[in-house]
Structure 1
Amino acid sequence: MPETKAEADLAGRRQDWGVVSTVSEAPELVVAFAAHALSLGAAEVCLYLDEPAPELERMLGANPRVRLVRCDAAYWAGLGMDRPWVPAIRQRANLKVELDAARFPWLLHIDADEFLWGPGDMGEILAAQPEEAGFLLIPVAERVHSGPADAANVFGGRFRRQVGGEAEVAIARLDGPAAPFLDQGMAGYAGGKSVFRSGGRAAAGVHLPDGAGEPLNVLYSHLILHFDGLTPAGWVAKKRRAIAQQPEWRSYPDSHRATRNQLAAVHDATDDAAAARVYSLIKELDPARETALAEQGILLDVELDLPAKIEAAFPGLALDFSAAALDRHVMAYRPRRDFQAVKHGLRAMLSRWTGRRPRA
């Protein structure tokens, strides 16, 4: 049996994998994201810069295993399109470019606030997948806080696993007033993210392949650790962007009930402090709620050791991970001026006049 990484490669027991992400977050977060992925053995971290990021380019440019792609007007013109309005469409387009290039047998597509976590060598795990498997789904766990969020360390806290099926009802009772804002215990998204095989049979979506008839192939030993809302102010800003950019949000279907409730609560907040209290209600656990959830075995404590990983990947780079530092980079948004916005705005106005719920 091979004993070294090189011997395992020669024996065909390991396959290279890369990470691709479309980013517009604080440089500190993206640096930590890249360093963590590299520490897990990713052959490359490819970052599509959704907005100009000279500071980030300066920080990351010296590592040969990090590749940066500027998504400027020339880039989108090269793909034969204008910059798509919807972020998910931009993500899908960038992912397709990487999958078509097939630089590596496998490609993990996640956001910069998502960190892969689990035991073993991912290259060996991927090499063991059946040839017919076009993707491998990794479940999600979401960061929560023991009491108030730690303003000195945006990566502090614990993680809670999603819970579906019959158990979701019982867990919702433990979450109490926070339950309407959660889907399977998640405030961000439930389900997971995927590692895609290059040259797969189906078009790759943000989470799963589109229209794939193949069975769900889930890696239960690993998790995507989702820092949904790295800071309370960042989370509120994200919700306000969604409110401004998606006039149809009030007509979200019941499958998106939790998101709709989050947006409504932030929309109705009278000031920043009231909006931040929505974050606190959802993500900051009081002792009774934390104890109850812990007894269900769904809370995890994970040590990511990010300073050591950053030093290994980007020596001498000193970063401030306080909430104040990251809140300086809260992303602005571009006003939406397309036909869809006008259409949904008119529908929303009509629904207020008639009392009817607008169609999605």
Structure 2
Amino acid sequence: MPNSSPTWGVVATVDEPAILIAAFVRHHLTIGAHAVHIFLDRKNEAARDMLAPIERCYVTECDQNYWNESGLSRRPPRHTARQKFNAEQAQALGMTDWLLHCDADEFVTDGSVVFDDLSGANDRCVIIRNFERVYTPTANQKGQDAKLFDGAFREPIEMFDLVSEPLFGEFAPMLKYGFSGHVGGKAFVPKGAPWSMGVHRAHVRGTNERAPSREGRSLFYHFDGLTRLHFLLKILKRGYETPDGPKRKMGSQRILQAIYAREHAHDRHKMTTVTQALKALTTDQVAFYEGFQSLNQTPFGPQGCAGLDLSAASFDACLRAENAELLDMAGLSYFGD
């Protein structure tokens, strides 16, 4: 691997509106990714059409033929298992010196910092941190002018569980270190290493032992739902993943969110309240995060996305059309009206 000019790529397994997938691809290629591998978890002709003209974007449709030829006995029922398998397929292609697994709602912020992190570090994985988007009273994604990437970004607070109850009340257990989503970051994995890709970390192939790693300075923003409706659909899908509720391996706060969504989806007031509690901050909560120096209010916009309709209203309309059956079944068709 030429340490002077390391190349890097991103791999994602996606089940999202085409506009988000296109923004994800364009942004990472613009900031310096050499390749972006997209595995479509369901048929998405709109995404294929939008991505087809983009050089260095490699699209695989994970249809029944794909899984029949995968060597597996069936399509893995767990999304995380499909992510891991697909990441390993991209890793095996060896198109770049380094490969990062991301979700479509995760955006690396600065390609130049990535380059610095990866230069001369090919004996270990490089871990990059994540901040999480949150709405504030002054950066709140509402109204006809609202954009998908509006908001501020919170950093994890290790002692959150000890001090959060007075301000976050009954919803405090649904926030881990102050995040609604994961706090684990992601790993750049070097080409040719005897390690298998994972969702967050690489492992020594054939074992549960984590691959050696070091902390990088790179950062990515996790939006954990590009709109309030997007977030609710995310936790609702987990709530209905099995007939009896969420059984998959995930963080305790995500299990609580999924159970709450399944039990109360029909209740407009409760769903509005939980979304506000998990995805938006009051003035006092802003002060709480700022007291820990854990809130960045610098705006973010994806790079290379001129001409894309990144309005929240358009995105939500697409979500409703694509998820009408689930929304109706759960009693959540009203949300956003």
Which secondary structure state, in structure 2, belongs to the residue aligned with residue 55 of structure 1?
helix
State whether structure 2 residue 318 is matched by structure 1 residue 322. no
| Distance apart, 1:273 and its partner CA | 4.4
Q: Give structure 2 stretches of 5+ with no counterpart.
A: 327-337
Q: Cα deviations across residues 295-333 of structure 1 (Å, max 9, x unaligned)?
A: 221011343333x6213xxxxx44142234334235549
Q: Name the residue aligned to 1:50.
A: 41
Q: Give structure 1 stretches of 5+ with no counterpart.
A: 1-8, 312-316, 336-360
CA distance in structure 2 between the aligned counterparts of 1:34 and 1:281, rounded to whole angstroms = 31
* Gap change, CA 1:333 and 1:169, over 3 Å in 2: farther
Equivalenced residue count is 315
CA distance in structure 2 between the aligned counterparts of 1:334 and 1:75, rounded to whole angstroms = 26
Q: Name the residue aligned to 1:59.
A: 50
* Gap change, CA 1:215 and 1:232, over 3 Å in 2: same
CA distance in structure 2 between the aligned counterparts of 1:309 and 1:126, rounded to whole angstroms = 23
Q: Name the residue aligned to 2:98.
A: 106
Q: Name the residue aligned to 2:331.
A: none
CA distance in structure 2 between the aligned counterparts of 1:271 and 1:304, rounded to whole angstroms = 33
Query: What pairs up with 1:11-26 in 2 under 5 angstroms?
Result: 12-26=3-17
Cα contact 2:154–2:295 (8 A) shared by 1 = yes
Cα contact 2:84–2:199 (8 A) shared by 1 = yes
Q: Name the residue aligned to 2:226.
A: 230
* Gap change, CA 1:128 and 1:170, over 3 Å in 2: farther
Q: Name the residue aligned to 1:354.
A: none
When normalised by structure 2's length, the TM-score is: 0.84
State whether structure 2 residue 270 is matched by structure 1 residue 278. no
Query: What pairs up with 1:86-105 in 2 under 5 angstroms?
Result: 86-105=78-97
Which secondary structure state, in structure 2, belongs to the residue aligned with residue 178 of structure 1?
helix
Cα contact 1:234–1:327 (8 A) shared by 2 = no
State whether structure 2 residue 203 is matched by structure 1 residue 212. no
| Distance apart, 1:280 and its partner CA | 0.7
State whether structure 2 residue 179 is matched by structure 1 residue 183. no
Q: Which amino acid aligns with 2:214?
A: N
When normalised by structure 1's length, the TM-score is: 0.79
Which secondary structure state, in structure 2, belongs to the residue aligned with residue 309 of structure 1?
coil
Q: Cα deviations across residues 14-36 of structure 1 (Å, max 9, x unaligned)?
A: 21111111111011111111111
CA distance in structure 1 between the aligned counterparts of 2:272 and 2:261, rounded to whole angstroms = 8
| Distance apart, 1:223 and its partner CA | 1.8
Which secondary structure state, in structure 2, belongs to the residue aligned with residue 67 of structure 1?
strand
Larger Cα-atom Rg: 1
Cα contact 1:149–1:284 (8 A) shared by 2 = no
Q: Identify the structure with the greater helix proportion.
A: 1
State whether structure 2 residue 154 is matched by structure 1 residue 160. yes
Q: Percent of aligned positions with the same letter in both sequences?
A: 25
| Distance apart, 1:59 and its partner CA | 1.4
- Of 294, 298, 301, the residue aligned with 1:298 is 294
Cα contact 2:99–2:191 (8 A) shared by 1 = yes
